Chains A and B, each alone.
Chain A
Amino acid sequence: SQQGEEDPQALSIQEGENATMNCSYKTSINNLQWYRQNSGRGLVHLILIRSNEREKHSGRLRVTLDTSKKSSSLLITASRAADTASYFCAPWAGSNYKLTFGKGTLLTVNP
């Protein structure tokens, strides 16, 4: 399956701390994408990392990709209460142009 599986399912931290979420997948990919979903809202694309990239930064976000282990991690530094959301990884194989989402990691940042 192309589906990504996020770990942990839930994470609770204090404001200012770093949050790390992991994603594992099973098939070869062209890229892997991370999305965020605030309570009751649609998904927002955060960052895309291509299969030939190992690390990518965007603001307070850092994504790593290890294709040999079929895994990725999303690090949010200096977290804020507004980062409270569900985070989904979505591997993209390209062959069927389909993103398959896992259950996500529910991040709670306490003020």
Chain B
Amino acid sequence: EAGVVQSPRYKIIEKKQPVAFWCNPISGHNTLYWYLQNLGQGPELLIRYENEEAVDDSQLPKDRFSAERLKGVDSTLKIQPAELGDSAVYLCASSLGRGLGEQFFGPGTRLTVL
């Protein structure tokens, strides 16, 4: 069974440029999460989807961040415009419904904003 797929793995952009990250969850997992992880810290939840619906986006900086999960499968996280402080690893995870909470993580996208 394929795991959570993310692309790109690495991205370097200049500040004020837009950037987008893509995630394909494990087949059949209807819950999808985007996390941000700064160096030396644990992941912080940005947004959680149940199918197509964003059910928890309270930590998403909506002035510059946006996300979508069309058709309830793949998801895209966008930053526009990027700031220096956005340099971090962006992790996508999925889970089988609400289940017991076990989540499966992708390898992440390491973003560097210059």
Chain A interface residues toward B at CB < 8 A? 30-31, 33, 35, 40-45, 48, 50, 88, 90, 92, 94, 96-104
Contacts and interface: CB of A to CB of B under 8 A. Distances in A.
Contacts of A99: 45, 101, 103
A43 B101 contact: no
A33 B101 contact: yes
Q: Which of A30, A44, A98, A99 has its CB near the most chain B CB atoms (within 10 A)?
A: A99
A63 to B, nearest CB: 14
Contact of B101 (A41, A44, A92, A104): A92
Contact of A97 (B40, B43, B48, B93): B48
Nearest to A40: B110
Contact of B43 (A31, A44, A101): A101
A35 B104 CA distance: 10
A42 B101 contact: no
Given A42-B91, A98-B48, A31 B42 contact: no
A92 B19 CA distance: 32
Given A96-B56, A98-B56, A103-B41, A45 B103 contact: yes
Interface residues of B, number: 23
A98 B96 CA distance: 14
B25 interface: no
A50 B106 CA distance: 25
A42 B105 contact: yes
Given A92-B100, A97-B56, A101-B44, 14 more contacts: A30-B100, A42-B105, A42-B107, A43-B43, A43-B91, A43-B103, A44-B105, A45-B104, A48-B100, A92-B101, A96-B56, A97-B48, A101-B43, A103-B42
A48 B99 CA distance: 12
Contacts of A44: 105
B45 A98 contact: yes
A41 B31 CA distance: 21
B92 to A, nearest CB: 8
B102 interface: yes
A32 B104 CA distance: 15
